């Protein structure tokens, strides 16, 4: 189901996916930095997943929810996902910065 105009939400989730490599790790990180995030049972295995993963899956897979419900969920949650992605990006930049600094220290003659 394509939801025009909500590519921003998908891009934010994609950034998290690039950093954490899978949905389980993304949800684990989200719950660490934003422990009050809504969790719902996954329709596939009944395990908890964050609202962000639920919405991402509703966009990319056929599901029983209506496009209007998904659209409302995205509109209501994009700001928080943006804050979570920002936190993850900044943490990743700090990690890369430390690596670069360490590499520079050990490669100097």
- Tell me the per-residue pLDDT of 65-88, one tens digit each, with 9 for 90 and over: 888 999 999 999 999 999 999 999
DSSP string across 7-51? HHHHHHHHHHHHHH-SHHHHHHHHHHH-TT--EEE-TTT--EEEH
Supply the mean pLDDT for the chain. 88
CA distances from 7 to 53, 65, 71, 108 (A): 15, 19, 11, 44
pLDDT score for 4: 47
CB distance 55 to 70 below 8 Å: yes
Domain map (residue ranges) of the chain:
7-107
Q: Which residues of the chain have pLDDT under 50?
A: 1-5
pLDDT score for 102: 64
Other Cβ atoms within 10 Å of 25 Cβ, number: 13
Helix H or strand E encompassing 39: strand 39-41
């Amino acid at each position: 189901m394509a939801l025009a105009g909500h590519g921003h939400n998908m891009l934010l989730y994609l950034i998290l996916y690039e950093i954490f490599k899978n949905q389980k790790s993304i949800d684990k990180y989200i719950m660490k930095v934003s422990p009050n995030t809504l969790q719902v049972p996954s329709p596939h295995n009944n395990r908890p997943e964050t609202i962000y993963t639920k919405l991402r899956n509703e966009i990319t897979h056929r599901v029983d929810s209506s496009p209007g419900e998904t659209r409302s969920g995205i509109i209501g949650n994009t700001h928080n996902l943006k804050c979570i992605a920002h936190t993850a990006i900044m943490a990743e930049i700090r990690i890369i910065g430390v690596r670069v600094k360490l590499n520079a220290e050990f490669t100097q003659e």
